[in-house]
A = this chain, B = another copy of it.
Amino acid sequence: MKVITLLTDFGLKDGYVGVMKGVIWVISPQAQIVDITHQIQPQNVLEGALALGRVASFFPPWTIHVGVVDPGVGTHRRPIAAQLGEQFFVGPDNGLCTVLVEQARLEKKKIQFVHLDRPEYWLPEVSNVFHGRDIFAPAAAHLSNGKLIHEIGTPIDDPILLKIPSPEQSGSGWKGQVIIVDNFGNLSTNLTRAHLSGLDEVSVKIAGFEIHGLRKTFGDAQPGELVALIGEANDLSIVVVNGSAADRLGIGIGEAVEITSV
């Protein structure tokens, strides 16, 4: 049995997530299922792709990541599965797995996609509006049972991938942007430890504010202070200690961030 993760924009109010687990357990009774998040902003595929990229590598090898942020459900968009290094992805062909693909490429791992076009691995009745339950959950359960991706679908080589925003060089520094705002209001950027490594004492400009230097962690500054630090994904993060940087700065995803040497 393999671990199955679920990431959706369904929220937790309606039983949509629970019913996917029921469907999985009918087919793969011992599958271990874990929620990543169900609070992706509705239809925000990029947000889902980034969230999945943050966590996938921490799961056991051969974990099956089911992602359902799926504005194209029931249209001609294909349902797909992929083997991306030692991880599986199951979900819509809309770029939701883009960061996992990038990671597998960086590590020169095997990358294979299939079109989930074999109804014998779906629920008997498939709605036009809930492929998470009717196609993706059953497909993931069959993978958990040991099926190979090319047993449950037909190989394709043209999956849709998103353009993930990447930093650009700017003089001696870099321009990037906020890509995640978490539950605390902490701002994660697409600038990483690697972008910082060439710089001397760093200055961070965001939303008209300038922050000098990096702190090691929250507790090295006073409550209420706006600081920059290296976050949990080796990313430059802007936070307010015991508070919300998103609220303080009045900004969100997409906001420009620039780092320079002082």
Contacts and interface: CB of A to CB of B under 8 A. Distances in A.
A215 to B, nearest CB: 9
B59 A129 contact: no
Interface residues of A, number: 63
Interface in A1-40: 3, 5, 7, 10-19, 21-23, 25-26, 29, 32-39
A39 B13 CA distance: 5
Contact of A26 (B25, B60, B180): B60
Contacts of A72: 219
A129 B193 CA distance: 14
A122 to B, nearest CB: 13
Kindly name the residue among A15, A182, A183 whose own CB sees the greatest number of chain B CB atoms within 10 A.
A15
Interface string A213-231: 0001111100000000111
A12 B38 contact: yes
B128 A14 contact: no
Given A36-B15, A58-B133, A74 B216 contact: yes
Nearest to A183: B11
Given A59-B26, A73-B217, A183 B36 contact: no
A71 interface: yes
A219 B72 CA distance: 5
Nearest to A17: B35
A77 interface: yes
A36 B2 CA distance: 22
Copies of this chain, how many? 3
Nearest to A188: B14
A60 B26 CA distance: 5
A232 interface: yes
Contacts of A216: 74, 128
A44 to B, nearest CB: 10
Contact of A218 (B33, B71, B133, B234): B71
Interface in A182-196: 182-184
25 contacts: A3-B22, A10-B183, A12-B35, A12-B183, A14-B51, A18-B35, A21-B34, A22-B55, A22-B59, A22-B60, A26-B59, A26-B60, A58-B133, A71-B218, A71-B219, A71-B242, A73-B219, A74-B216, A75-B217, A75-B220, A127-B234, A128-B217, A129-B217, A130-B232, A133-B232
Given A19-B55, A128-B217, 4 more contacts: A5-B22, A18-B35, A22-B58, A42-B242
